[in-house]
Amino acid sequence: MTTPYVIGIGNAVMDVIAPTSDATLARLGVEKGIMQLVDRARSEFLMAAQSADPQAGKARLVPGGSVANTLAGLGMLGLRTAFIGKVAGDPLGLSYAEQTEAQGTVFVNPPVAGDVAPTSRSIIFVTPDGERSMNTYLGISGELGPDDVNPATFSGADWLFLEGYLFDKDAGKAAFLKAADACHAAGGQAGIALSDPFCVDRHRADFRRLVAGPMDYVIGNVHEWQSLYQVEDLEEALRLASADCGTVICTRSGEDAILIRGAERVTAPVHRVVPVDATGAGDQFAAGLIYGLAIGADLAAAGRMGCIAAAEVIGHVGARPESDLRAAFRAEELA
Ligand SMILES: OC[C@H]1O[C@H](O)[C@H](O)[C@@H]1O
């Protein structure tokens, strides 16, 4: 078997991981546990407040972004990966591109030079209970559009993975459709993580068309599926989802994940660990899942790989794996 090739499109975000206290969150007016979009002034204010806070831990700057984190996980698992994202030619953007390549993922489009919006950054406050509160300034990242997607990149593509967060603008939507076409033309499968119930709420009709149209697999959590189909009953939401899409995956935080592919339905047990930092749990679930599917594992095994990868990443600070996931899969006789 040739090494599976996975292409991702998502926000290219430099993460500023900042350990902090609940009191500081309250003082700064940061809403706990969600991803909040902020403007440049608020982002600079939060950065300055964090570094001036004598109670706060030292912040770490690392490349992030949901799909980029998934690709990093897949690369560490040995797959071939490429990331289509947009950064400026500023110090953050240059560092983002360089570190992405150094970690083994091809950073397809070079940083954009000139008088452009800055590179995206997310100030991620991590409280002692392991919860993460993200404050993302999108900058140039949110301007990604169809011109940034070159069909030639998709030669030999086996999998495409998209990020709902980028579905907030018409240009991002057009980029996704172009990428899905290119992936299908190469014989690959296209999928998306719904990312955020509020984003689903803002673009429900377009998300519905995407899920029922070019997406071969879709990953969402309970709130995202409920929001997509505007039903409280999860079973009803999943019934509607699997009528629309070939492979439907539902993560349920502390409970077993549900995976449905046509008439097949399985669950994957979550690995309960005390969270140190919840950032990237969904991203690494996706990495384990896509890895399993890409190497031909059955649906239940792929789901278990997703749960193992998610448990690994919440056991330490940061959104990318730090230990050998393939060894963890082997220990459970999964690969
Ligand atoms: O899913 C976690 C990611 O979402 C945000 O986009 C941050 O960049 C972080 O790395």
> Going by C-beta distance under 8 Å and a sequence separation of 6 or more, which residues neighbour residue 75?
81, 103, 104, 105
Q: What average pLDDT score do residues 76-86 get?
A: 98
Q: How far away, in angstroms, is 142 Cα from ligand 1 center? A: 14
| pLDDT at site 99 | 97
Q: How far away, in angstroms, is 310 Cα from ligand 1 center? A: 14
Query: What ipTM was reported for this prediction?
Result: 0.97
Q: What is the pLDDT of residues 3-16, one digit of tens each?
A: 999 999 999 999 99
Residue 24 phi, psi (nearest 5)? -65, -40
Taking the alpha carbons at both ends of the chain, their separation in whole angstroms is 14
Q: What is the pLDDT of residues 262-318, one digit of tens each?
A: 999 999 999 888 889 999 999 999 999 999 999 999 999 999 999 999 999 999 999
Kindly tell me if the per-residue pLDDT of 70 is higher than 90: yes
In terms of pTM, does the model score above 0.90? yes
Q: Is 212:245 a contact under the CB 8 Å cutoff?
A: yes
Distance of CA 182 to the CA centre of its chain: 21
Q: What average pLDDT score do residues 73-87 get?
A: 98
Q: Is 319:310 a contact under the CB 8 Å cutoff?
A: no
Q: Which atom of ligand 1 is nearest to the CA of 64?
A: 10
CATH number belonging to domain 5-12+66-117+140-332: 3.40.1190.20
Residues with CB under 6 A from ligand 1: 11, 13, 15, 64-66, 69, 122, 134, 136, 279-280, 283, 319
**Residue 248 forms beta bridges with which residues?**
218, 260
Q: Which atom of ligand 1 is nearest to the CA of 281?
A: 1
Q: What is the pLDDT of residues 112-132, one digit of tens each?
A: 999 999 999 999 999 999 999
Cβ burial of 3 (10 Å; 0-12, 13-18, 19+) is: exposed
Q: What average pLDDT score do residues 246-268 get?
A: 96
Query: Residue 62 is inside which H or E element, if any?
Result: strand 60-64
